[in-house]
Amino acid sequence: MPNNKHPVTECIELNLQRYLDDLKGTPPSDIYQMVLSVVEKPMLELVMAHAKQNQSLAAAYLGINRNTLHKKLLEHRLI
């Protein structure tokens, strides 16, 4: 059966499993927020660079509102 998973999905699954394995039975905490923050910041950095720091264009690339993008850039201290 061919593997139809997106490469990003495979990367996240592999590394999240590694993280859980490394805990060696210690209960994980706040995984949802951890994954979102480690994925979101580099994504924002790359898209902003691709858009030449134009927030309106970057927001369009991301499919989000420009105000939402601005808020996220502030949260991640990217502006």
**pLDDT tens digits along 45-77:** 999 999 999 999 999 999 999 999 999 999 999
- Domain 7-75 -> CATH class: mainly alpha
15-23: long-range pairs with CB below 8 Å, 24+: none
Considering the entire predicted model, what is its pTM? 0.75
Tens digit of each residue's pLDDT (9 = 90 or more) over 10-22: 999 999 999 999 9
Query: Domain residues of the chain, as ranges?
Result: 7-75
- Distances in Å between the alpha carbon of 16 and those of 1, 8, 20, 41, 50? 24, 12, 6, 17, 27
